[in-house]
């Protein structure tokens, strides 16, 4: 196994991309896989995934089937594992954004965005074109029917969907 890329360490862990150094029988290109290592270079999450989002929490967004340069809708499925590689949320989402708390996630399912928790429960229904993560006050930028607005943590609209963009500082 050959390491081809390593991301910066966050809380003693880093995403690592590897390639198997053994050629396949048909001489086809060997695809890189990624996993998560600790600060003594041991894999905590084995390099079996096609993409990983790790932000330093006890949960990791993982993808199987991701192809670089392809649209997310046609390129693999995202889910959530813990640091023991136990699946917490099934790999069925076309895109995912990890929130800072590590227990909530914006996710895309069947071309609509919503918010799920670490148990896979829907917190905000999948009816938006896009949903970001919350700012420090719990305001969540979102897009619906091509217009931007803002939701609170319960999914209630606190800024109507009438704007061309939204920005929080």
What would the pLDDT profile of 77-99 be if each residue is shown by its tens digit?
999 999 999 999 999 999 999 99
What are 142-163's pLDDT values in tens digits?
A: 999 999 999 999 999 999 999 9
The rounded distance, in Å, linking the Cα atoms of 103 and 62 is 14
Three-point CA angle 105, 63, 32, nearest 5°: 145
DSSP annotation of 10 reads B
Q: Is there a contact between 144 and 130 (Cβ–Cβ < 8 Å)? A: no
Q: For residue 75, is pLDDT > 90?
A: no
Q: How confident is the model at residue 3 (pLDDT cuts 50, 70, 90)?
A: confident
């Amino acid at each position: 196994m050959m390491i081809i890329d390593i991301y910066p360490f966050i809380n003693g862990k880093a995403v690592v991309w590897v390639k198997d150094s053994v050629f396949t029988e048909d001489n086809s290109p060997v695809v890189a896989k990624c996993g998560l290592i600790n600060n003594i270079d041991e894999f905590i999450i084995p390099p079996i995934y096609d993409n990983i989002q790790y932000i330093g929490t006890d949960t990791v967004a993982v993808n199987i089937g991701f192809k670089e340069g392809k649209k997310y809708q046609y390129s693999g499925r995202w889910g959530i594992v813990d640091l023991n590689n136990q699946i917490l949320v099934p790999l069925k989402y076309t895109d995912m954004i990890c929130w800072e708390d590590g227990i909530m996630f914006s996710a895309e399912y069947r071309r609509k965005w919503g918010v799920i928790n670490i148990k896979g429960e829907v917190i905000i229904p999948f009816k938006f074109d896009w949903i970001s993560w919350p700012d420090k006050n719990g305001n969540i930028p979102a897009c619906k029917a091509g217009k931007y607005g803002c939701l609170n943590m319960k999914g209630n609209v606190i800024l109507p969907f009438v704007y061309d963009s939204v920005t929080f500082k």
